[in-house]
Amino acid sequence: MISKIKGLEYFNIDVNILSDVRIFKLMKRYGPLGFTSYMAIISHIYSKGYYVDYDLDTLAYLLLKHIPSKYINGRNKLQEIILYMVELELFDKQLFSNGIITSIDIQEMFVNAAKKRQKQEDYPYWLLEEINNVVKTEEHKNLIEEEIKPNKKQKRMNQRMKEIKEKAPFKHYLTSCLITYRYIDEYSLDIYKYNELFENLEKAYDSSLLFDATKYLCNYASRSSTNIDDPYNYFESSITTNLERLTSSRNTNNSSDIQKLFNELFADS
């Protein structure tokens, strides 16, 4: 009879883990909380084997048991971090959408750690082509495909993921440009201010001129050696003043002069 998967007593960590671009992005966005959350999840997974069958909220609750709430800023922050891990492919997206938390990396480490075991365990939700040099059969593949069909619990989790994503603040398309140009962070608390500013500016200025002014200002700020203490006030003051100058110049200059004025206003120096 096939036995149940046994967990590991310990697992190895790659000495270059912090050089992994996925871990770098996770820490850039969420700092130590992001890395601690990832380590807590994989530690728990290895204690069970190479996967766990959890929905999003259950996984977040697991983290809350290990991470003091004083380090967690904002409602649904842990769910948000978990979803970002999936986006970075630290966990397999398809299996995650069906309530299974695992990945190729996790399974490869598990194989190395458990290679001395007898080949008597069943391996559901397996992502690798081989397990101890035994290739999966078509029957095993069909079994996995059957097991990952969404059930009611998994559908509820999918809906929960959708609701969390929809709670992200609305962004004006020019606010999104500021994020793309790295003038502000995606989670800036001033996003609503930028949205309101752009909505008001659109009533007075041509959209193409507004876009060009935004782009040039972001470019200038990225190259300037000046320390900007308050990004929003700096941006609001600069773009308003310069749009007024650009608009007045447009009435007396041709397009090439306007481009020249842009370069003068938002110089790369």
pLDDT tens readout for residues 114-160: 765 555 456 677 777 654 443 343 444 444 455 555 666 666 666 66
- Which comes out higher in pLDDT, residue 7 or 133? 7
Question: How much is the pLDDT for 143?
Answer: 47
- Which pLDDT band, with edges at 50, 70 and 90, does 23 fall under? very high
130, β-bridge pairs: 135
> What is the rounded distance in angstroms from the CA atom of residue 7 to the CA atom of residue 44?
9
- Which comes out higher in pLDDT, residue 169 or 28? 28
Residue 206 neighbours by CB under 8 Å, 6+ apart: none
Q: Across residues 208-218, what is the average pLDDT?
A: 85
Task: Choose the weakest-confidence range: 145-159, 180-194, 228-242.
Answer: 145-159
Whether 247 shows a pLDDT value over 60: the answer reads yes
Question: How much is the pLDDT for 52?
Answer: 93
> What is the rounded distance in angstroms from the CA atom of residue 41 to the CA atom of residue 52?
10
Whether 236 shows a pLDDT value over 90: the answer reads yes
Q: 3-class SS at 148?
A: coil
Whether 27 shows a pLDDT value over 50: the answer reads yes
Share of the chain above pLDDT 70, in %: 71
> What is the rounded distance in angstroms from the CA atom of residue 234 to the CA atom of residue 257?
26
- Which pLDDT band, with edges at 50, 70 and 90, does 166 fall under? low
Q: Across residues 60-79, what is the average pLDDT?
A: 85
* CA proximity to 168, closest of 80, 252, 107: 80
Question: What are the distances in angstroms from CA 42 to CA 10, 36, 76, 238?
Answer: 11, 10, 20, 47
Q: Across residues 6-18, what is the average pLDDT?
A: 84
Whether 8 shows a pLDDT value over 80: the answer reads yes
Question: What are the distances in angstroms from CA 106 to CA 3, 93, 103, 111, 146?
Answer: 20, 14, 5, 9, 22
Question: How much is the pLDDT for 255?
Answer: 47
Burial of 112 (0-12, 13-18, 19+ CB in 10 A): exposed
Burial of 181 (0-12, 13-18, 19+ CB in 10 A): middle
In this prediction the pTM is: 0.49
> What is the rounded distance in angstroms from the CA atom of residue 131 to the CA atom of residue 134?
5
Question: How much is the pLDDT for 51?
Answer: 92
> Tokens at residue 158, please?
């999918």
Whether 227 shows a pLDDT value over 90: the answer reads no
What's the gap between Cα 5 and its chain centre? 31
Contact 218, 194 (CB under 8 A): no
Q: Across residues 3-17, what is the average pLDDT?
A: 79
Whether 259 shows a pLDDT value over 60: the answer reads no
Question: How much is the pLDDT for 262?
Answer: 53
Mean residue pLDDT of the chain comes to: 78
Whether 258 shows a pLDDT value over 60: the answer reads no
Question: How much is the pLDDT for 157?
Answer: 66
